[in-house]
Structure 1
Amino acid sequence: MPRQTDRQVLTEEVLVLFTQQLLTEEQESLNNLLYEEPNDSDSDDGEDIPAPQLSEVYLEILRELHSSRYLQQRISILKTPQQLWLTLNVYKKDHPELFRSYLRISPATFDILVQTIQGHSVFHNQSNQQQIPVDQQLAVTLFRFGHYGNAATLQKVGLWAGFGYGTVDLCTKRIMAAICDARFRRAVMQWPTERQKEDAKAWIESRSCPSWCDGWLMVDGTLVPLFARPGFYGNSWYDRKSNYSLNVQLISTPNLHIIDYGVGLPGSQHDATAWKQTRIPQEHGTLLKAEEWVWADTAYLLQTWCQAPYKKCVR
């Protein structure tokens, strides 16, 4: 169940008190009408102003509770963007090993990734407030993804980058929106050329037999553990290895060049199900020739274009 905020918890408690008090006051009012004798005094001089009902006090508390965005006074925490600046302007050029230790990818790969996603609409809007440069948003996101546990929290990442916690979360969402876009997938996952395909077939033939040379692609799945049980539909992420995880499918050539992938399904999903989300099961008639197939294990549905290593090639 998703965690409730302090405001939500307090609101529920005050509403319970308000409801109980309102019922009590209505019962008292009804008793007064039924059992008390009417007052025949014609003098209103010196009549006291009635005190507010306790239910009205609870309503005022609710109004105060929701009149401000923050329940407590905001405390400014001193942050500096120097570490992010050093990573992108000094370590990237002069100390690539330090750059890789922070962001988990090489400077060249980082530049290509920025160039690929910077044209996405998520980084452009009609606001007068200009967005943070794409390279900084990507660096913050990669730094967050490259750490685990408390080191990956919004607070720790924000202090490292010199950004607010909300800004870190917003950068992560923008980068993920650009990377999960189908256009990005088509841009980075290039289908092998005829020359690359022939090289792959030659490699297979040199290490097996001529009859198997047309099986020049490999597929397999892996489970990526999650730090904690997801708040929504948590049980569906529980896998056969007793972890909460993501199912990731990778299709590659013999030289480990990845040409397609499938991500997003929970770890409880079978490889055969996750495999259906990739291009080859959907477009094998277009991508593969009639005699070509993909090497797989017995977790996958065996067909003429998807074969287990010990199965003889189906002609």
Structure 2
Amino acid sequence: MGAKNSWSGGMGEGWLVVDGTHVLLAWKPGMMSWENFSYKGFSSMNVTLVILPHSLHIVESVVGQPGSVQDSKVWTLGSNILKKPQLYLDKGKFIWVDGGYGHSAFAIGPFSDITAEKSCNLWLFNYSLSQVQVWIEHAIAYLKN
């Protein structure tokens, strides 16, 4: 977890990035199928991935929650990183998350548009975070295709 494994892009010592995705089920489950019905309009399973943005290596995956469960809740219910962050993150390191995950002592997401409009630095942070989020979207697309 040394300096060569972190990628800051001018934004501190972010080490990991997290996001969720829906995996389409081949068929609708026979029982309690409404639990697997996602907001996207199909039956799915929700998967949360935590990756290294510089290499797209998967550090953690949380699999098995139905498609109706929000990404942040999937991560909260099954993440070992959240249970014991000191095992995964050196002092000063953090995880980039999207807006649905919220902020914590080791997870940093975007600031609201209203807040970012008041500070050029916060706007730049949000812009840079959106660039980091592209990395995990690439990892997810790579897995799905």
Q: Please report the TM-score for the alignment, with normalisation by the length of structure 2.
A: 0.69
The aligned counterpart of 1:294 is: 95
Higher relative contact order (CA 8 A, sep 6+): 2
- State yes or no: 1:264 paired with 2:101: no
**C-alpha separation between the residues in 2 aligned to 1:275 and 1:294?**
13
Name the residue aligned to 1:198. Answer: 3
Distance 1:232 1:285 in 2: 40
Question: Mapping of 1:7-22 within 5 angstroms?
Answer: none
Letter of the 1:268 partner, please give it: S
Counterpart residue number, 2:138: none
Letter of the 2:40 counterpart: K
Match of 1:229 in 2: 28
Deviations 1:158-210 (A, max 9, x none): xxxxxxxxxxxxxxxxxxxxxxxxxxxxxxxxxxxx3xx42232xx23xx21x
Distance in 2 separating the partners of 1:279 and 1:213: 23
SS in 1 for 2:104: coil
Correspondent of 1:219 among 18, 26, 36:
18
Q: Could you say what secondary structure the match of 2:34 adopts?
A: helix
Over the aligned positions, Cα root-mean-square deviation in angstroms equals: 1.7
Structure 2 residue identity aligned to 1:198: A
Deviation at 1:272, TM superposition (A): 1.1
Distance 1:309 1:257, change over 3 A: farther
Correspondence list, 1:150-161, <5 A:
none
2-structure distance, mates of 1:301, 1:229: 32
Matches of 2:25 and 2:12, distance apart in 1: 38
The aligned amino acid for 1:228 is: W
In the superposition, the TM-score normalised over structure 1's length comes to 0.33
Distance in 1 (alpha carbons) for counterparts of 2:30 and 2:103:
36
Alignment of 1:1-315 (within 5 A): 194=1, 197-201=2-6, 204-205=7-8, 208-209=9-10, 212-254=11-53, 255-276=55-76, 277-309=78-110
Unaligned runs of 5+ in 2: 112-121, 126-145
Secondary structure in 1 matching 2:100 = coil
Please say if residues 102 and 109 of structure 2, whose CA atoms lie closer than 8 Å, have aligned partners that are also in contact.
no
Report how many aligned residue pairs link the two structures: 111
The separation in 1 between residues aligned to 2:5 and 2:62, in whole angstroms, is: 22
Structure 1: state its 5+ residue gaps: 1-193
**Cα gap change, 1:303 to 1:220, in 2 (>3 Å):** same
Partners of 2:33 and 2:104 in 1: CA distance:
33
Q: Structure 2: how far apart are the matches of 1:285 and 1:259?
A: 14
Which SS does the other structure have where 2:30 is aligned?
coil
Asked if the contact 2:52/2:58 (under 8 Å) is kept, the reply is yes
Which structure has the highest strand share of the two? 2
- CA separation in 2, counterparts of 1:273 and 1:225? 19
Instruction: Kindly provide the CA deviation profile for residues 117-147 of structure 1, in whole angstroms up to 9, marking residues without a partner as x.
Output: xxxxxxxxxxxxxxxxxxxxxxxxxxxxxxx
